[in-house]
């Protein structure tokens, strides 16, 4: 998987940072998959500067209904339709998402020429497509807000083809069944168990993508043990009280969570417009002092999971 940041600013855009939006490219070898997390104003325009087309979007996950996470959605939906893309699209988000989307389309005389499904969620598992699952966790913010944990299922280990051939199993359909862990009966009546010829499973990757939040009970479970945690750092440590009063987190709080939850890497984003490049570097350093494996997201940054 890889994360592509289309917008990394908090509240309002800056000259170098657009409103919140993050692509997750699933990079599955046999199944196309492009997911979008939040859709701030200008997201479709940001996509024009990438190799990705809105028509390839399969799912959109909205954390909450504040405009800097949502106002780009109607335009993206319409442009996707006008481009002639017929692939289905599913949108997940809190209560009110359906009313917002349908009202925006209706009042603007717009429509979609592709199947569009809007699912208003609550906390818990919201999706399992057989390859990965997505779980929503409630966060602490003035509006109903969620973070999303994406977990790939473990992959079967490599099949020991050499040992199978030595056991008299010829390459063919049986290999496919054995790779899936099934048992097969050979022509001579012997039963071969796939589990006996498979290496240990390969652990799937995991990502936690937070919406806006101040520290809360659900944050640890959302982040626990993930390979990559994407978390807002709206304000620096000296402004922590102000950040929390508005449902946001400081650098110190994001880094402490990453450390306590034993995540692999922390990517910080959703930075207040008060910080220039030098200020953003200070935010990064504050996090790294607590959790060294911290990186700063910027518009069009790409991170491999």
Residues marked active site are found at 68
HSE at residue 91, side-chain half, CA atoms within 13 A, is: 26
DSSP notation for 217-255: HHHHHHHTT-SEEEEE--B-GGGHHHHHHTT--BHHHHH
The answer to whether 28 is a known ligand-binding residue is no
Per DSSP, the residues of 93-158 read ESTTHHHHHHHHHHHTT---SS-EEEEE--SEEEEE-SSEEEEEEE-BSSS--EEEEEEEPPBPPP
CA nearest 139: which of 63, 87, 190? 63
Q: Is 174 annotated as a binding residue?
A: no
Please tell me whether 231 is known to bind a ligand: no
Among 185, 202, 206, smallest CA distance to 194 is for 185
Long-range contacts (CB closer than 8 Å, 24 or more residues apart) made by 158-164: 158/198, 158/199, 159/194, 159/197, 159/198, 159/199, 160/197, 160/198, 160/199, 163/197, 164/192, 164/197
Known binding residue 87? Answer is no
Annotated binding residue at 85? no
Q: Residue 241 burial by CB count (10 A; 0-12/13-18/19+): exposed, middle or buried?
A: exposed
How far is it, in rounded angstroms, from Cα 195 to Cα 189? 18
Please tell me whether 141 is known to bind a ligand.
yes
Annotated binding site for Zn(2+): 64, 66, 68-69, 141, 212, 270
Annotated binding site: 64, 66, 68-69, 141, 212, 270
């Amino acid at each position: 998987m890889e994360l592509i940041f289309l917008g990394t600013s908090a509240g309002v855009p800056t000259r170098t940072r657009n409103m919140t939006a993050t692509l997750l490219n699933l990079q599955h070898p046999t199944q196309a998959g492009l997911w979008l997390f939040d859709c701030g104003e200008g997201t479709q325009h940001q996509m024009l500067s990438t190799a990705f087309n809105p028509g390839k979007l399969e799912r959109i996950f909205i954390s909450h209904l504040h405009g800097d996470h949502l106002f780009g959605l109607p335009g993206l939906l319409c442009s996707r339709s006008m481009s002639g893309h017929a692939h289905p699209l599913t949108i997940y988000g809190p209560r009110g998402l359906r009313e917002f989307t349908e009202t925006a389309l209706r009042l603007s005389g717009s429509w979609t020429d592709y199947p569009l499904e809007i699912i208003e969620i609550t906390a818990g598992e919201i999706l399992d497509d057989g390859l990965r699952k997505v779980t929503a966790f409630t966060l602490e913010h003035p509006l109903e807000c969620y973070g999303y944990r994406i977990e790939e299922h473990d992959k079967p280990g490599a099949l020991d083809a050499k040992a199978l051939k030595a056991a008299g199993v010829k390459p063919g359909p049986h290999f496919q069944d054995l790779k899936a862990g099934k048992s097969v009966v050979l022509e001579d009546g012997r039963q071969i168990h796939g589990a006996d010829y498979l290496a240990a499973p390969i652990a799937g990757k995991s990502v936690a993508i937070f919406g806006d939040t101040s520290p809360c009970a659900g944050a640890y479970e959302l982040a626990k043990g993930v390979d990559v945690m994407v978390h807002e750092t709206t304000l620096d440590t000296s402004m922590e009280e102000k950040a929390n009063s508005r449902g946001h987190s400081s650098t110190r709080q994001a880094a402490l969570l990453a450390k306590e939850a034993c995540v692999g890497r922390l990517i910080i984003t959703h930075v207040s417009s008060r910080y220039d490049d030098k200020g953003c570097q200070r935010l990064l350093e504050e996090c790294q002092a607590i959790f060294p494996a911290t990186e700063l997201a910027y518009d069009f940054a790409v991170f491999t999971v």
